[in-house]
């Protein structure tokens, strides 16, 4: 999945991250040791530009889904 939307100085990217958790992850309120698990997480970024320079970057993803795929939370039924 990959969608890119652009309007003037704003770009929205809708995509999916896939990877294996092989190293310690430093989250804002916790440190998560490597689990060795594979994850597939959809995400969205919103970038605002001033000419060719990014002035604002925002990332959205489902943290509970990520933690569930890592085996750290129960996965929803």
- C-alpha 61 chain-centroid distance: 5
pLDDT at position 77, please?
67
The predicted-structure confidence for 6-56, as pLDDT tens digits, reads as follows 999 999 999 999 999 999 999 888 899 999 999 999 999 999 999 889 999
d(CA 13, CA 30): 27
Mean pLDDT of 70-75: 83
Domains located in the chain, CATH noted? 2-69 (3.10.450.50)
Signed CA dihedral, 36, 77, 65, 5: sign only:
positive
pLDDT at position 76, please?
64
**Phi, then psi, of 37 in degrees rounded to 5:** -85, 150
Tokens 């002035």, located at residue: 55
């Amino acid at each position: 999945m990959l969608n890119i939307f652009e309007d003037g100085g704003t770009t929205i990217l809708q995509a999916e991250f896939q990877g294996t958790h092989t190293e310690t992850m430093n989250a804002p309120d916790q440190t998560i040791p490597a689990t060795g698990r594979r994850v597939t997480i959809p995400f969205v970024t919103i970038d605002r530009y001033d000419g060719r320079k990014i002035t604002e970057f925002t990332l959205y993803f489902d943290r509970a889904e990520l933690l569930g795929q890592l085996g750290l939370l129960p996965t929803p039924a």
